Amino acid sequence: GAVVSQHPSWVICKSGTSVKIECRSLDFQATTMFWYRQFPKQSLMLMATSNEGSKATYEQGVEKDKFLINHASLTLSTLTVTSAHPEDSSFYICSARDGVTGDGKPQHFGDGTRLSIL
Amino acid sequence: GQNIDQPTEMTATEGAIVQINCTYQTSGFNGLFWYQQHAGEAPTFLSYNVLDGLEEKGRFSSFLSRSKGYSYLLLKELQMKDSASYLCAVRDPNTGFQKLVFGTGTRLLVSP
């Protein structure tokens, strides 16, 4: 089945550091990937839609200059949290779909990245 | 906007059957998904319904009624490992059904 790989799985770093998270579709091409953030005991919050070869689409309230998204190929999207601060500490999850919109294929999620900013 | 409602928490006993309900209000419909998420892990896909009726997959079944804006996930022969959050999600018609809109999830606790 479709597999999405996310790396790293855990990051601990100092305030002010920029952190890059990678999301790869391993056995399918994904023109669109999604980035979510999840705080403890809360549901997934969509941050942005990553489109291959074009700019990402950000959800309302998400700072595009803070969360830089690059979708340079059909199998790789990256999220960079720039100048991270403790309030950015969260669980970041990417997902991708294999197939066109309208079919029954679900989004498959990466294993997530737990980001802790000290 | 789109709205999805699920109970916040449920408890059940090992070996029992539990039904997790989900109601939704959307301006358009193109399928409903159920995901399972264990604490500290990413969601995993369980089921997809786009037509009315019951879809069975082993111990898990999912039901959909489009006219009622209602779905449920049925878990049979509960095991301790089924303790997790269960997320109901629908495709967002405002985005050409590209994005998923998630409910807040139902935390299920299975006790011995």
Residue B36's pLDDT is what? 96
Low-confidence residues in chain B, pLDDT < 50: none
pLDDT score recorded for residue B99 = 86
Tell me, what's the pLDDT at A40?
86
Of A34, A102, A110, the CB nearest to B42: A110
Mean pLDDT value across chain A: 90
Q: Of the candidates A79, A100, A110, which has an alpha carbon nearest to the alpha carbon of residue A29?
A: A100
Range of lowest pLDDT (A52-61, A96-105, B32-41, B79-88): A96-105
What the block records as the tokens of B89 is: 């999600």
pLDDT-based confidence at residue A29 (cuts at 50, 70, 90): confident
Q: Which of these, B48, B40, B43, lies nearest to B86 by C-alpha position?
A: B43
Q: How many CB atoms lie within 10 A of CB B89?
A: 25
Nearby residues of A89 by Cβ (< 8 Å), 6 or more positions away: A115, A116, A117
Closest Cβ–Cβ partner in B41, B44, B48 for A104: B48
Contacts of A107 in chain B (CB under 8 A): 33, 45, 100
Q: Mark yes or no for CB contact B102/A106 under 8 Å.
A: no
* Residue A16 predicted with pLDDT over 90: yes
Is pLDDT above 90 for A53? Answer: no
Distance from CA of B39 to the nearest CA of A (A): 9
* pLDDT recorded at residue B94: 77
Q: Indicate the pairing of strand B106-111 with strand B9-13.
A: parallel
Cβ neighbors of B102 (< 8 A, separation 6 or more) are A43, A44, B4, B87, B88, B89
